Amino acid sequence: DFLHALEEVQPAFGVNEEELQAVVQNGIIHFADHVHNILRDGKLFVEQVRNSERTPLVSLLLHGPPGSGKTALAATIAMASEFPFIKLISAEAMVGFSEQQKIGYLNKVFTDSYKSPLSVIVVDGIERILEYVPIGPRFLNGVLQALIVLLHKRPPKGRRLLILSTTSNRQMLADMDALDAFASSLRVPALSSLREISSVLRDVSLFSSKEEEARAMTLLQQAGFAEETKVGQLSLGVKKLLNVAEMCRQDQDGAGEKLVTSLMEMGYM
Amino acid sequence: DFLHALEEVQPAFGVNEEELQAVVQNGIIHFADHVHNILRDGKLFVEQVRNSERTPLVSLLLHGPPGSGKTALAATIAMASEFPFIKLISAEAMVGFSEQQKIGYLNKVFTDSYKSPLSVIVVDGIERILEYVPIGPRFLNGVLQALIVLLHKRPPKGRRLLILSTTSNRQMLADMDALDAFASSLRVPALSSLREISSVLRDVSLFSSKEEEARAMTLLQQAGFAEETKVGQLSLGVKKLLNVAEMCRQDQDGAGEKLVTSLMEMGYM
Amino acid sequence: DFLHALEEVQPAFGVNEEELQAVVQNGIIHFADHVHNILRDGKLFVEQVRNSERTPLVSLLLHGPPGSGKTALAATIAMASEFPFIKLISAEAMVGFSEQQKIGYLNKVFTDSYKSPLSVIVVDGIERILEYVPIGPRFLNGVLQALIVLLHKRPPKGRRLLILSTTSNRQMLADMDALDAFASSLRVPALSSLREISSVLRDVSLFSSKEEEARAMTLLQQAGFAEETKVGQLSLGVKKLLNVAEMCRQDQDGAGEKLVTSLMEMGYM
Amino acid sequence: DFLHALEEVQPAFGVNEEELQAVVQNGIIHFADHVHNILRDGKLFVEQVRNSERTPLVSLLLHGPPGSGKTALAATIAMASEFPFIKLISAEAMVGFSEQQKIGYLNKVFTDSYKSPLSVIVVDGIERILEYVPIGPRFLNGVLQALIVLLHKRPPKGRRLLILSTTSNRQMLADMDALDAFASSLRVPALSSLREISSVLRDVSLFSSKEEEARAMTLLQQAGFAEETKVGQLSLGVKKLLNVAEMCRQDQDGAGEKLVTSLMEMGYM
Amino acid sequence: DFLHALEEVQPAFGVNEEELQAVVQNGIIHFADHVHNILRDGKLFVEQVRNSERTPLVSLLLHGPPGSGKTALAATIAMASEFPFIKLISAEAMVGFSEQQKIGYLNKVFTDSYKSPLSVIVVDGIERILEYVPIGPRFLNGVLQALIVLLHKRPPKGRRLLILSTTSNRQMLADMDALDAFASSLRVPALSSLREISSVLRDVSLFSSKEEEARAMTLLQQAGFAEETKVGQLSLGVKKLLNVAEMCRQDQDGAGEKLVTSLMEMGYM
Amino acid sequence: DFLHALEEVQPAFGVNEEELQAVVQNGIIHFADHVHNILRDGKLFVEQVRNSERTPLVSLLLHGPPGSGKTALAATIAMASEFPFIKLISAEAMVGFSEQQKIGYLNKVFTDSYKSPLSVIVVDGIERILEYVPIGPRFLNGVLQALIVLLHKRPPKGRRLLILSTTSNRQMLADMDALDAFASSLRVPALSSLREISSVLRDVSLFSSKEEEARAMTLLQQAGFAEETKVGQLSLGVKKLLNVAEMCRQDQDGAGEKLVTSLMEMGYM
Ligand SMILES: Nc1ncnc2c1ncn2[C@@H]1O[C@H](COP(=O)(O)OP(=O)(O)OP(=O)(O)O)[C@@H](O)[C@H]1O
Ligand SMILES: Nc1ncnc2c1ncn2[C@@H]1O[C@H](COP(=O)(O)OP(=O)(O)OP(=O)(O)O)[C@@H](O)[C@H]1O
Ligand SMILES: Nc1ncnc2c1ncn2[C@@H]1O[C@H](COP(=O)(O)OP(=O)(O)OP(=O)(O)O)[C@@H](O)[C@H]1O
Ligand SMILES: Nc1ncnc2c1ncn2[C@@H]1O[C@H](COP(=O)(O)OP(=O)(O)OP(=O)(O)O)[C@@H](O)[C@H]1O
Ligand SMILES: Nc1ncnc2c1ncn2[C@@H]1O[C@H](COP(=O)(O)OP(=O)(O)OP(=O)(O)O)[C@@H](O)[C@H]1O
Ligand SMILES: Nc1ncnc2c1ncn2[C@@H]1O[C@H](COP(=O)(O)OP(=O)(O)OP(=O)(O)O)[C@@H](O)[C@H]1O
Ligand SMILES: [Mg+2]
Ligand SMILES: [Mg+2]
Ligand SMILES: [Mg+2]
Ligand SMILES: [Mg+2]
Ligand SMILES: [Mg+2]
Ligand SMILES: [Mg+2]
């Protein structure tokens, strides 16, 4: 029964490898430099937690537009740490929870982490965990407050904890006066040029031939997509692109034309 | 007792053919091209779910004015998929449910769908499921949040799911920052020309003779109805038209005149 | 005990003739043409429900100023249908009900109606059933949502249902985006001329002599009441007029003078 | 225990003479013409209820500034009717009641009244019964709605009911769209001239001698109090004046001077 | 347990002398004329309650800036009455009470008072009892409403009651339309001149010598403190001054200099 | 179980030395004069509580930007008092508490303190304890009210209490009209000059050589950091600086360059 999901949480100590890998379903495609930079900075924070006596608690925020790859990158950094306790917290595990149950769940995961000498907690999609909606705006303030406190709370002596949070709504956190809860933050950009789009599509072999690819790219260019990133012009999450690509792949008249139509109908260019 | 309706839900696995056919009560009349296009695009998404390894979850939004046929079209696409699990979720099955019961019901249907290798869920009339009212505005945020999470949640390994949602209030979803939850969206337009109206009325044989029909059409034209679609002029849901037609059919002085009066009193032209 | 009134509802199947007649306490006075027109249109909708295969559900809204006779007219149309199930739903039967109890009650009446091949439900005084108050505004959104769904919900195969709703606040329904729930709507106007007033007072024999009547009418005309309807000038519900008349009837100095004073103090002219 | 006060209400049938007389503690002083007029109009409504077949329910609103004597006048009209059932409803009997308990109490009193052939209910201080506060504004909407319905609800066949409501905030009722619930309304003015003040003080023999009185009146006149009513100048509830008078009576230096100081400090003139 | 504090209230009948004396901890220093005037007016109201047949209930409001001595003065007036029932109601006795518990507590104290022929109730710090906060603003409306009713409610025959309320936020009561609940009100001013400050400090012997005092006063005068009251210049509660004085007394370099610095840092001058 | 944490609170009487020392984890670095001044003023208030008969209750507010060292300084003052009862109240001990539980917890700590002749209570991070969020704004008004009352409430005879509160949002308290609850307040500034930054970094030996330090300082100066404090230019909490320093320490290319980049990315200069 979904209301008792709380009790079926993972073993208090350990890593749920499978769950973490699932969120990186389509791998990490290196379509731009920032992908590498984010992974490298992530590693630095992992080392700070592992080594510094003064800062047993480090809290990091990954933010960027919807579908830009925040969850996949946070999970990748977490798995790379090889800490004995790694846990992913997301709204998916809390559907139907009351506010109190959510707070209890968060508290339990953090308390569990304190039993391990080295831990990573991924708090994925803060805006969803808070049930934020811009109308109002409304959100679960009790959950927000618990989260701010837990992001702040020193683990017991001898324990160290890295917290990787993700959000597609950094402004929401600013409005909530909650940005101070993070020691640092990293921006995860969306695709912003035809070159990056092309890099991704090649990676998933959308086109059956070089010619088809060339034709599609020409069409996109004609439709206004810029070869290189230009300020304020294109912002397309890698997850969205992968989705459209798969739909177009079904078209019997070939994916190219449908891709152009779809991207344009979705409001890109 | 209506509060226990929850327990009487359909068998977890399977298709409730009758319920789906009931919402297409008056069939699909091909009064315009878009009817065909929507059904064809729907098929493309069905194939994406059936075939693509990368996207086991596809979520589609059908939106359009009240009575334009969204529910009937979504049900038609769903039935055409012939997936082993097809389920229609609508507010009608949840009258009197508390917010928690609604969330529980949604969660149960999605969880049930995960047991089938291939599933379609029709989430019909999102604005009603959310109990949205523009005064305030008010709505069940808990249900909205659960829905966004479920529209996003990858089915377990080896399972695939197509979600067809309908709404007559797309702007509401935009205001809620909820449009990102849908991979794509299709617009279902209302009738917008006398030609389309005429095509529907002929289909339901409202007039007893060619002459009566001609007379009525002339009257409507005189009243200002344009033969062909003009921007911002007419927007009449097919469901509304079918309803008025049946009322006029009762008039002993013949349906024609009453039809003109009724459409004008309702504010069309 | 008033909280258990729920259980004492009328037999699920059948007509509570007495209750319906009570709301037409002072009969239907034919003081203007619209009275006849409303009753005739009402009959047309009754026939649509009785005859059309395509529309087993028809929903109609009667709206007009306070005391203009909406309830009496709706009850009259309902009784004239002679359908085997006729039920009046009003706030009076729900005093002290919680929001859940109201929803349960509404749902029960509709569910009961589905057992009859032909039914009429009068939903009387929507604004009161919703506990609407313009400050805020506040209202029971759960009840509104249940009502919209029930006004929309197709009865089971072979069952037909006519819903007659009344409200003195049509704008409220527009603000709630709830007008689409009604297939049609009929306006019930208030008295708007001295001729109409005179017609009503004669019907209830307020004056003891022709002379007294003539004197009173002259006084009212002098006070500014127009003989024939003029735009935006007079709007006096027939119920209000009947009430004032009875009070004036008690005055020992004769009803005429008191009537003029009272109507003027109440702000009419 | 105060929460069970509900059960200790007066016998369902009958008049609580003592309670009614208590609210007219200081009698009715005839300091101005309107006092007589209000009592006379009240009698007219009593007769309407007693005699008219068409209007077994009459609902009247007495409104006026704080302390102007609304409660005392309503109780006086009620007692003069000599109806077998007379009941005073006020917030004093409902301290600590929940919203549901208030609604239940109101409903019970009305239901009790239906057992008597002729009844008067005094609904005293609507703004307090509704727990109205202008900040927000806030009030118990459930109680308001129950009240509107009860003010509207026809008693069963053969029963007749007069409802006398009082409020010092008529505008609040207008803002709530609740004025239509009253068939008529009577205004209870406050004292508005020195002559009226003098009439009251003489009635309660505040001054020990004619000279003292003359001196005090001269002082008040000098302080700006007008002998006769002038528009927008003075508005002093009779209850307030009686209160100040008694305080001044304690002053060892005589009441006159203290009276002038007190009235001026309280902001009158 | 703090939630059961309700049951440990004082004996229903009698005076809790100790509690009343505690709030006058530092006595009443006669640093200005108003101190005498307030006590004298208080006595007048005590006599009104003791003597007048017409007004068995008198309700008085003491208002003034924070720390100006409202509580100490109200308690002093109450004790001076020597009535058999004297009770202090304040938020301190209600920490952790629910709204219902607060209402129940208030109601109980008033009900208890009705058992004594002569009673005084001090309602201390209305804004705290109402849990008022200007953001919103928010407050316990149920408690406010109960209070207004109780301030208004005539004691049973033969019982008399004086109610002394205090608040540092009279405007709040005006905004709540609650000032009419008080028959009269007295203003308790803060210190407004160097002469008054000096009078208090001498009373508590802050300075060890005449010279030290003279030096401090000169410094304050140089800092801008006026010898005599000037409109809108200084407003320093006696409680605040006593507090600062005691802190300065600890300074090893003598109280004088620290006093000047502290008063200036606190924003006075 | 986290909901029962309430019962596991520290022994009612005594000092939890370890907990207090933990919040001063990185010691008190004397990077500026105010550090000394705050500790000295704190001592003065400790002496007032210890010595003055007139003021057995003293309440102090430490406020300043996030991470400026408020908690560490309050704990240091508290420990230096050597009072027999010292207790730290913070949101961390109340994660998941309901509003009632929070109030109960606060009340319990204060009640416990009354058993000791001399006590210090540190109320740390009021904005978190109140669950304040600027959107709305929202906060637990019940907790605020309880806190204001407890900050005000005289301990029983013979008991003395010092309350040290901290907040990074003094304006919030002003908006809540809650500043009067504090007898005095002390400001804790953030770092505001390169000299202060340098003083802290030297204390934690971030740089491996004098040269590296000089290079980093030059870079920062070039980036716009002023050597001495300038109005409105730099505001960097010591806690934040310590955190960044530790992260930079991990960089294999040396801490200096990363420090400059990080401080600039975080928006300082
Ligand atoms: N460079 C990349 N970075 C991140 N993800 C990538 C990259 N390349 C491919 N992917 C794939 O793209 C998808 C990114 O989805 P992900 O859920 O991480 O995005 P997100 O930003 O968290 O989305 P949302 O805003 O909905 O939370 C994953 O399936 C991942 O395997
Ligand atoms: N081309 C068409 N497309 C859709 N429905 C059609 C079409 N032709 C006829 N119909 C009939 O019209 C009706 C459309 O009603 P439907 O409930 O699907 O509309 P809707 O847009 O979902 O309405 P609502 O906005 O109230 O949810 C159905 O009875 C259907 O059988
Ligand atoms: N032509 C008429 N139409 C309607 N009612 C009439 C007519 N002539 C007389 N009446 C009488 O007038 C009264 C109308 O009251 P009714 O309660 O129906 O009004 P209403 O518009 O529903 O009022 P409300 O706005 O308060 O709900 C009834 O007593 C009815 O018998
Ligand atoms: N002419 C009068 N009309 C009404 N009351 C009078 C009159 N003369 C004397 N009184 C006395 O004045 C008092 C009026 O108080 P009452 O409570 O009726 O006023 P109110 O308007 O109801 O006050 P509130 O606004 O507080 O409800 C009563 O004690 C009554 O005996
Ligand atoms: N003339 C005076 N009037 C009142 N209090 C005085 C006076 N002289 C000395 N005091 C002392 O000053 C203190 C006044 O505090 P008190 O609590 O009465 O103020 P308050 O106005 O009620 O404060 P608050 O606004 O916080 O409720 C008491 O300790 C009292 O003994
Ligand atoms: N002079 C100083 N004053 C205060 N803390 C210092 C000082 N020097 C070093 N520190 C260290 O800096 C840190 C200050 O953190 P602390 O939690 O007290 O800041 P804060 O202002 O309470 O933060 P927050 O706003 O998050 O509550 C502690 O680790 C403390 O040991
Ligand atoms: Mg994500
Ligand atoms: Mg639909
Ligand atoms: Mg009606
Ligand atoms: Mg009254
Ligand atoms: Mg006080
Ligand atoms: Mg802190």
CATH numbers and ranges of domains, chain B: 2-187 (3.40.50.300), 194-265 (no CATH)
List all residues 6 or more positions away from A253 whose beta carbon is below 8 Å from its beta carbon: none
A184 CB neighbours in chain F (<8 A) are 244, 247, 262, 266
What's the average model confidence in pLDDT over B80-85?
Answer: 97
Nearest Cα neighbor of D67 from E146, E180, E163 is E180
Whether residue B67 has its Cβ less than 6 Å from ligand 2: yes
Q: Do the Cβ atoms of A117 and A160 come closer than 8 Å? A: yes
Q: What percent of chain B has pLDDT over 90?
A: 83
Judged by DSSP in three states, C124 sits in strand
Residue of chain C minimizing CA distance to D148: C128
Is the preceding peptide bond at E11 cis, omega within 30 degrees of 0?
no
User: Which of A47, A141, A146 faces F133 most closely, judged by CB atoms?
Assistant: A141
User: Number of helices and strands (H, E) in chain F?
Assistant: 11, 5
Q: Do the Cβ atoms of D25 and E131 come closer than 8 Å? A: no
Q: How far apart are CA C184 and CA D21, in angstroms?
A: 55
Does C95 contact D184 at a Cβ distance shorter than 8 Å?
no
Does the pLDDT value for residue B9 go beyond 80? no
Neighbours of chain E (3+ CB pairs under 8 A): D, F
Q: How far apart are CA F14 and CA C158, in angstroms?
A: 79
Q: Do the Cβ atoms of C169 and C43 come closer than 8 Å? A: no
Does the pLDDT value for residue A12 go beyond 70? no
Does F247 contact A183 at a Cβ distance shorter than 8 Å?
yes
- Collect all residues from B whose CB is shorter than 8 A from any CB in C: 2-3, 22, 25-26, 66-67, 91-92, 95-96, 98, 128, 131, 133-135, 138, 168-169, 204, 240, 242-244, 246-247, 249-251, 262, 266
Q: Kindly tell me whether chain D and chain E come into contact, counting contact as 3+ Cβ pairs under 8 Å.
A: yes
Pick the more confident residue, C15 or D69.
Answer: D69
Residue of chain F minimizing CA distance to E267: F184
Cα C173-C174-C178 angle, rounded to 5 deg? 60
Give me ligand 8 centre to Cα D105, in Å. 44
Judged by DSSP in three states, F191 sits in strand
The single residue listed with the structure tokens 């811009």 is: A134
The residue type of A120 is V
Nearest Cα neighbor of A249 from A225, A220, A216 is A216
Q: How far apart are CA F250 and CA B74, in angstroms?
A: 56
The pLDDT-based confidence of E5 (bands split at 50, 70, 90) is very low
Q: How far apart are CA A236 and CA A240, in angstroms?
A: 7
- Distances in Å between the alpha carbon of B113 and those of A84, B159, B162, D216? 35, 9, 10, 89
Give me ligand 5 centre to Cα C151, in Å. 65
Residue F57 is encoded by which pair of tokens?
């209750």
Q: Do the Cβ atoms of B217 and B194 come closer than 8 Å? A: yes
Give me ligand 1 centre to Cα F46, in Å. 56
Is the preceding peptide bond at E137 cis, omega within 30 degrees of 0?
yes
Of D254-268, E77-91, F133-147, the least confident: D254-268
What residues does B161 pair with on adjacent strands? B57, B119
Q: How far apart are CA F102 and CA F100, in angstroms?
A: 5
Long-range contacts of F246-251 (CB under 8 A, 24+ apart): F246/A48, F246/A52, F246/A54, F246/A55, F247/A44, F247/A45, F247/A48, F247/A55, F247/A58, F247/A183, F247/A184, F248/F206, F249/A48, F249/A51, F249/A52, F249/F206, F250/A44, F250/A47, F250/A48, F250/A51, F250/A52, F251/A44
List all residues 6 or more positions away from D216 whose beta carbon is below 8 Å from its beta carbon: D207, D255, D256, D257, D259, D260
CA dihedral sign, ordered D226, D227, D232, D234: positive
Cα-based torsion angle of the residue sequence A179, A182, A186, A189 in order, rounded to the nearest 10 degrees: -40
Helix (H) or strand (E) holding C187: strand C184-187
Tens-digit pLDDT profile for residues E25-77 = 899 999 999 999 999 999 999 999 999 999 999 999 999 999 999 999 999 99
b/e for B120-133, b at 16 or more Cβ within 10 A? bbbbbbbbbbbbbb
User: What's the start-to-end Cα distance of chain B, in Å?
Assistant: 46
Q: Do the Cβ atoms of F24 and F75 come closer than 8 Å? A: yes
User: Cβ-count burial of B240 within 10 angstroms (0-12 exposed, 13-18 middle, 19+ buried)?
Assistant: buried
pLDDT at C254: 82
Is the preceding peptide bond at C137 cis, omega within 30 degrees of 0?
yes
The pLDDT-based confidence of C232 (bands split at 50, 70, 90) is confident
CA atoms within 13 A on the CB side of E139: 26
Does A58 contact F247 at a Cβ distance shorter than 8 Å?
yes
F95 CB neighbours in chain A (<8 A) are 103, 107, 146, 149-150
Q: Do the Cβ atoms of D163 and D59 come closer than 8 Å? A: yes
pLDDT at E104: 98
The single residue listed with the structure tokens 């683990």 is: A155
Q: How far apart are CA F118 and CA E235, in angstroms?
A: 32
pLDDT at B13: 66
The residue type of B122 is V
| E-assigned strand segments in chain A | 57-63, 85-90, 118-124, 160-167, 184-187
Tens-digit pLDDT profile for residues D19-67 = 899 999 899 999 999 999 999 999 999 999 999 999 999 999 999 999 9
Q: Do the Cβ atoms of C185 and C191 come closer than 8 Å? A: no
What's the average model confidence in pLDDT over A31-35?
Answer: 95
Tens-digit pLDDT profile for residues F56-109 = 999 999 999 999 999 999 999 999 999 999 999 999 999 999 999 999 999 999
A176 CB neighbours in chain F (<8 A) are 133-135
Task: Give D96 to chain C, closest Cα distance, Å.
Answer: 18
Q: Do the Cβ atoms of A149 and F95 come closer than 8 Å? A: yes
Neighbours of chain D (3+ CB pairs under 8 A): C, E
Whether residue F68 has its Cβ less than 6 Å from ligand 6: yes
Whether residue D71 has its Cβ less than 6 Å from ligand 4: yes
Q: How far apart are CA D66 and CA D63, in angstroms?
A: 9
pLDDT at C190: 96
Task: Give E27 to chain F, closest Cα distance, Å.
Answer: 11
Task: Give A75 to chain B, closest Cα distance, Å.
Answer: 16
Does the pLDDT value for residue B3 go beyond 60? no
Long-range contacts of B223-230 (CB under 8 A, 24+ apart): B223/B260, B223/B263, B223/B264, B223/B269, B224/B269, B225/B193, B225/B194, B225/B197, B225/B263, B225/B268, B225/B269, B226/B193, B226/B194, B227/B193, B227/B194, B227/B195, B228/B193, B228/B194, B228/B195, B229/B192, B229/B193, B229/B196, B230/B192, B230/B193
Judged by DSSP in three states, C86 sits in strand
The pLDDT-based confidence of B73 (bands split at 50, 70, 90) is very high
- Distances in Å between the alpha carbon of A166 and those of A61, A70, B95, D212, F152? 6, 6, 37, 84, 43
pLDDT at D196: 96
CA atoms within 13 A on the CB side of C225: 24
Does B183 contact A133 at a Cβ distance shorter than 8 Å?
no
Per DSSP bridges, beta strands A85-90 and A118-124 are: parallel
Q: Do the Cβ atoms of E223 and E256 come closer than 8 Å? A: no
Q: How far apart are CA E6 and CA E8, in angstroms?
A: 6
Pocket test of ligand 5: the residue of E77, E186, E238, E240 to mutate, having most ligand atoms within 8 Å of its CB, is E238
Number of Cβ atoms within 10 Å of the Cβ of D99: 14
Q: Do the Cβ atoms of A91 and A195 come closer than 8 Å? A: no
| Most D-contacting residue of C246, C252, C263 (CB-CB within 10 A), to test interface | C246
Tens-digit pLDDT profile for residues E159-204 = 999 999 999 999 999 999 999 999 999 999 999 999 999 999 999 9
Q: Respond yes or no on whether ipTM tops 0.85.
A: yes
Task: Give E135 to chain F, closest Cα distance, Å.
Answer: 6
Number of Cβ atoms within 10 Å of the Cβ of C4: 7
CA dihedral sign, ordered B132, B137, B142, B146: positive
The single residue listed with the structure tokens 């027109």 is: C37
Nearest Cα neighbor of F51 from F118, F150, F109, F114 is F118
Q: How far apart are CA F269 and CA F265, in angstroms?
A: 9
Pocket of ligand 1 (CB under 6 A): A 24-29, 31, 35, 66-73, 125, 168, 238-239, 242
Residue of chain A minimizing CA distance to B100: A96
pLDDT at D16: 85
Whether residue B134 has its Cβ less than 6 Å from ligand 2: no
